Each structure stands twice: as structure tokens, then as C-alpha cells.
Chains A and B, each alone.
Chain A
Amino acid sequence: MTWQGWLQILIYVAVLTALTPVLGGYMARVYMGRRVVALERVLGPVERGFYRVVRTDPDREQDWKQYGRTVLVFSALFWLALYALLRLQGVLPFNPLRFDGAPWNVTFNTTSSFVTNTNWQYYGGETTMSHFSQMAGLAVQNFVSAAVGMAVLAAVIRGFARRETSKLGNFWVDLTRTLLYILLPLSVIGTLLLVSQGVVQTFTGSVSLTTLHGFEQVLALGPVASQIAIKQLGTNGGGFFNVNSSFPFENATTFSNFVEMLFILLIPAAATYQYGRMIGRLRQGWALYVAMLLMFAIGVGNAHYNEARATPALQAAGVHATAGHGSTGGNLQDKEQRFGIADTALWGTATTDASNGSVNGSHESFSGFGGMTPLVNMMTGEVIFGGVGSGLYGMLLLVLLTVFLAGLMVGRTPEYLGKKIQAREVKIVAIGTLYMPVVVLVAAALAIAVPAGKKSIYDSGPQGFSETLYAYTSQTNNNGSAFAGYTGFVQPNAPGNEGATGVPFADLVGGLVMLLGRFVPLLAALAVAGSLAAKRPAPAGPGTFRTDSPVFLVLLVGVVAIVAALSFLPGLALGPIVQGLTHQLF
């Protein structure tokens, strides 16, 4: 650990906090009415034209069931379209390296992964995907799956804010405005910032050359920057290259690294302020921001502290990992020199707090305890900032759970924002929060128990267990980062995908848990919002439990921690905790 490392983390938090009200206030305006943001003067005709072609009346709002049904139909059809596009890659254009489509089971996994905003990748981008698949297939989903999450959040917030109505908004309006006025402009800015640092943006497939010392080297190129900008912003995380944002053409400099890290949490953090603005109580939004930041700080502190030490393997090899005198020190295995310890720990924390899942170094090579930061972050259900849209609506379910528990403790009917929380809401909240540990634990246990699950494991000993637990935690929570030794796709040596095989168990179980992990909480949040929208808020009295006070923050963080700990402590004890406590090699 160095003071420069802590300073960078502080700078990151300061910039993020400063941008939260700026972007959050803007996002609230985008969702609170039409003809209110300056960009509409330019893009307004596009917006209105889109409503015409999809045949929606932008003034007609939907109730939660209609809204949810449109989301499901839209996502299901997009799933089919993406699946077809990826399988037909061999006959589609922009395929300079002549890649065939991946096998059906791998494509099932990949398609589910991108439609659910997970971006779990069993394939290696630069060795599997044509430029057309990357741009017209995967990058489109980076935009659209993110926009779906943000649209649903806007609808859910309206449910909290409104009174005595069944209407939550129009899905097409929310989707279109998210894309046109939030994601697209930020992506354009991001692309230009990244290209200025050396992230490539071209339609050339690759350049072959002879290096200074006489070796053949092939530089894989492509339309990378435009895809990476939205991959970071939309908490997608699926890289153009297999090693994601550690590859210099995807993340060239220490400055591009800062931009990409900032983009991970930018929208999820701003959403807390958007929430406060839309319900007309800014303090409630800031309270959620502070709760999230607190858990973020614990995670990054732990990762930075533990990664700055030599792992048992490095110690056994006789390496001294002291920092200083021009050396980064620490566990630099599978990390880049230009990012060092602090920025890799910071990235690893941010990317698993948000359900982003991009990496700038290998999480698998994190130390036992250091690797618990990404793992535990995901086990909270992706609510520490969380995915765009999905993070905050997941957190709002936990807020209701906390209010309910607090109500039980003092024997009062729980209420939030003046609305009574009753049996129906609490039941839905219970489903929306507890399905996740159940799915993760069942899938991981199955993968460990059956022989078909063991085919995917790469490392021996407890690390092999950690790989499995990480894989199903990440996919169920729509994160997408990995202990990447775990595999569902065996790449051939020859160019193209001929001869490639998938691991059907890993591909299918993974694909399934991603779909469940996306749509169960999404529908639960919409259902709760629908039922809250119908209620009439009561004015706050002297007995009202305040939900923007430090006491509430402690309770909320406690609930998040307890739900995660009760579910996952035994699992963690078998993997990373064992490794953190022992110096034994396996």
C-alpha cells in the first residue's frame, strides 16, 4: 500500500460524488417530462419519429403489468434476434478474419448474457467474434439492456413517488429517452476520450508485423472504443478482447483507465440523486448514496490492503513484494504495471459493486482475502450502486425490507415515504431478495456435485471451488466478471471456430441463472411499485421512523450484510477464507 494508492481512491470518490448531482439531476429531468432537456432541440424529431414507427402513443402510460409485459416481449424477441445473428456470423458481413458462429450452447449462454446486461463471456472476443457480431449484436445489447434497466428504474421510482394511480409510465418513452439523451451522448464523449488515449477505432481486422527483435506479431484491431465506452457506462462489461480492459488497445493509459473506472459507477451513483429528485426528497437519495459509498469503501479498503501483499505462491517462490524505490510491490501477478495495485483493486471493487464485470486485471489471481471483495460485493445482490437501473431498484427492495424489520422491532406498521408497507409488498420483497442466494447456491452446489460441472474447473484445490462459486454468483447477479479459469468454451488452435466445443452444463446452467437473475427482481420491483403507486401517503407524524437518518443507514447496511452473510458464509469458508488463512500450496 502506498499513499499514492489511497490518494487515487480518494480522487475517484471525490469526482464520483461531485458528478452524482450533476448527472442525477439531468437524468431526473429526462424522465420527469418531455421537451425539457436541451438535446431535444436536436434529437426531438428522432424521438418522435421512433414513437411513430413503433406505433406507441407517448402520452399513454402503462400500469405495472403492461409495462412488465412490454419489457418481457421486447427482451425475448431481442434474445431471438441476437441468437440468430451470432449463429449466422459466418455468412454476415464485417468478418475480416472469417470466424464461424460458436456452437449452439455457447451461443445460448452468450445471448442470455448480453440480453440480461451480464456480459459473462465464455468466448474470447478477438478469436471468436466478427466485427459485425461485436457491433450490431453485442454492442447494441450493451445499449439496450442498459436502457431497459434504467427505464424500469424510472417506472419503479414513479411508483414510489405517485399517489392513488396505477400508471407507472410508458416503456417505449423511457427506453427511447434513456438511449437518446443519456447513453448515446455519454458514449460519444467516452469514445472520443478513449481514442485520444490510444484505444483503437477502425475497421481493419489486424496488422501483421515483425517486431524490433525479429518476432512475428499480429495486432488485433477493430471498432473498440465505441464499444468500450458503452460497455463501461451501461454496467455491461463484455470486452472486445479476451483479457478485457487490461489489454492496451482497450485501456491504453492511466488516464483512460480513470475514465473507464469512472464510467463504471457514474450512472448507478447518479441514479440515487435522480431518485431523490423524482420523489421530491433529495435527502432520501443522498442517504442511499452514503449507504452505498460506505459499503464501497469497505470493499476497496480490503482489496487494496490485501493486494498490496505477496500471496503464498509469491512468498514460496522467494519474491519480496515491498513497494517503493520505483517498484509497485504487492501481488502484481496478472496485473498491469501502469495500473499497479491500487487501480486494479479499485477497478475490481467498482466493477463488482456495479454489476459491470469488466476487469483490468485477473480477479482469479487476487489473494484469498483480496478476492473476497469482488465475490462478497456480488453476493449482496448487486445493490452497492449496482447495475444501471437494476442496482437501485434492488436496493429499494432492501430498503422496504429494512423498514419492515424496523417496524417489527418497534411494533408499528412499517411505512416508507408515508406509504404503508403491507403483507403483499413484503411478500414480493422477500421473493425479490431471497431468490438470488437460492439460485446461486443451488447452481454452485450442482456444479460441484455432478461430474459435468467439474469439466469447467481449471485450478486445483480450494481455488477450483472458488472458481465455481464465483461463476454462478457472477452470472446470477448479472455481473459478468469471472475467476476466468472457469470455462464453458474450448477454443480450437486453428483460426475460426471450427472444431470449437462448448461445455453444455456450464453454458446452459449459466444461461438459465442469468435469465432468472435478471427478470425475477425486475418483475418484483415493478410489482411493488405498482402496488405502492396505488396508495395514499399519510403525513409524517412524531412516531414516523425516519429513513434518511444515520440510524436507518446502519440498519440498511446491516440488513444487506446479514442477508449476504447468512446465505454465503459457509460457501466462502470453503474457498477464499481457507486460502486467506493458509500458506499451503495446492
Chain B
Amino acid sequence: MRRDIVGSVIAIVVLTLGLGLVYPLVMTGVAQVTFHDRANGSQVKRDGRTVGSSLIGQDFRKPVLENGKPKLDEDGNPVLEADPGWFQSRPSQSGYSANATFFANLGPNQKDLADQTRANLDAYLALERPYTPTLAAAGVPVDAVTSSASGVDPHISAANARIQANRIAAVRKAPLDRVLALVRRNTDGRALGALGEPGVNVLGLNLAVDKEFPLR
């Protein structure tokens, strides 16, 4: 028993130092040298200023104005709506927070989930129908109206991007085929041609669109 206790105490100290400090320190050193950009969050710069991470989704909505002032909800936060000049990310339960994340945690039969999803669907149709008149609820891709797991999903589906491309082309007065070409260029395919699902990187796409066809 005594031997067990003494051995355990020493082992705890040695293992904590080795596995808890030496291992992560060495791995950090190696990672910083070999994959510097990726180890630090794949940050994206524009004009020398960091505007985000290519892996983290962003908010492309704008405040709703009421009598020239931002409209507030009952908690005092500004009410936001999609900004038509930009490709929109998937809905987020966390306000696109990248430092305090949580799931929506609504079960398959929850009324709250049905209500939220219907609101998302109505908003999507209201936004896109002026530019895609044939769009009906049946044609809305599921990623456009459901919140993601991380709250910062960097991707939307190709179907979603193609619908939004009609709006972007109209608002930014750009040829549709050029916008669709940018959509394709910012699509991350399946790894090794088979793994996962293809997705369009919204931040990358908006950066490319804004560079080629700036607003105003």
C-alpha cells in the first residue's frame, strides 16, 4: 500500500510534467514552425488588416433601421436582417460567436425549432424571391434555414450559393456567370474526392466578389 502511494505520487508529478507540459510545448513548437499560418487560426488579411479566419463563418447581416435608428429587440440588442449585397452564412444560434460556442440543442419534435426554422425559411424566401422569382419552399436547401452545429459554419451548400448568386449579380451589377465562377472557385470539395460534403466558403467568396465587383 505504502509502495503504491509513494509510486503514484511520483508518477503523477512526472506524468503531469511530461504529458501536460513537455508534450504540448514541443508540439506547439513544431506546429509553429511547420504550419505557422494554420496553427494560428488560418487568419485572412485584406489590405494588411486581419478580417477573419478562413475556417470561421461570419455575420453578413445589417441592423434593421426604424425611423433612422437601429431597431432593438426586447433584450436591447439590435435586430439584424440579411444585407442583400453579400452572400449570407448559415443561420447561427450563437450570433457567430467564435469564443463562446454552444449547440442549439432543440430536439426533433420541439415547437421552438419548428418556429425558428419557419422564420428562417420565410426570411430566405423574402430575400431571394425578388431575384429568383421561381423559388418556392421546396427549392430552398436545408442548410439555408437550419442553424449549424458550431454556430460559425464557414460553408453553405452549392445549391444555396447558386440561389444567392442571382441576388449578388443583380445588386452588384455583375454578370451572373462571373459570380457563379467565383462560387465554384471558393468551393471546398470532398477530401480525396470522397470524404465529407462539398461546401462554399462564404468569407472567401465574399472577399472575391467584393474585390471584383465592389458595391456602389
Q: Which A residues contact B (CB, under 8 angstroms)?
A: 4, 7-8, 11, 50, 53-56, 69-70, 73-74, 77-78, 81, 124, 126-127, 135-137, 139-140, 143-144, 172, 175, 179, 184, 187-188, 191-192, 195-204, 206-207, 209-213, 215, 217-221, 223, 225-227, 241-243, 246-249, 252-255, 257-258, 310-314, 316-322, 325-340, 343, 359-362, 364-368, 370-371, 458-463, 466, 483-485, 579, 582-586
Contacts and interface: CB of A to CB of B under 8 A. Distances in A.
Contacts of B103: 243, 246, 334, 362, 364-365, 484-485
Among B46, B150, B153, residue most surrounded by chain A Cβ atoms (within 10 Å):
B150
Given A69-B4, A319-B140, A327-B160, A254 B28 contact: no
Contacts of B140: 319-320
A257 B195 contact: yes
A291 to B, nearest CB: 27
B110 A337 contact: no
Nearest to B94: A243
A253 B31 contact: no
A253 B108 contact: no
Contacts of B143: 327-328, 332, 337
Given A4-B194, A255-B195, A336-B149, A243 B101 contact: yes
A53 B32 contact: no
B50 to A, nearest CB: 5
A336 B98 contact: no
B55 A209 contact: no
A254 B51 contact: no
Interface in B87-103: 90, 96-103
Nearest to B61: A213
A56 B39 contact: no
B105 A334 contact: yes
Nearest to A261: B195
The 3 closest A-B pairs by CB, nearest first: A254-B196, A326-B158, A136-B20
Contacts of A200: 38-41
A55 B104 contact: no
Nearest to A462: B109
B184 to A, nearest CB: 11
B155 interface: yes
A65 to B, nearest CB: 12
B166 interface: no
A243 B94 CA distance: 11
Interface on chain B toward A: helix, strand, loop, or mixed SS? Answer: mixed
Contact of B106 (A7, A127, A459): A459
Q: How large is the interface on B (under 10, 10 to 19, 20 to 34, 35 or more residues)?
A: 35 or more
A321 B107 CA distance: 17
B164 interface: no
Contact of B197 (A70, A172, A184, A337): A337
Given A334-B103, A334-B148, A365-B106, 13 more contacts: A126-B99, A127-B100, A143-B19, A172-B11, A195-B39, A202-B28, A210-B51, A211-B51, A211-B58, A246-B149, A317-B117, A318-B121, A340-B196
Nearest to B190: A254
Interface string B143-171: 10111111111111111111000000000
Contact of B159 (A53, A319, A327): A327
A242 B102 contact: yes
A226 B110 contact: no
A212 B206 contact: yes
Contact of A371 (B10, B101, B108, B156): B108
Nearest to A251: B150
B108 A312 contact: yes
Given A253-B191, A258-B195, A483-B105, A217 B58 contact: yes
Given A201-B27, A326-B162, A333 B113 contact: yes
B63 to A, nearest CB: 10
A548 B17 CA distance: 45
A494 B111 CA distance: 30
26 contacts: A54-B7, A70-B7, A81-B12, A201-B27, A201-B31, A211-B52, A212-B206, A213-B83, A223-B24, A249-B55, A257-B196, A311-B109, A312-B114, A313-B107, A314-B117, A316-B114, A320-B137, A329-B141, A331-B142, A362-B105, A365-B107, A368-B108, A459-B106, A463-B109, A483-B107, A579-B109
Contact of A317 (B53, B118, B153): B118
A338 B53 CA distance: 16
B99 A318 contact: no
B9 interface: yes
Contacts of B1: 69, 73
A74 B11 CA distance: 9
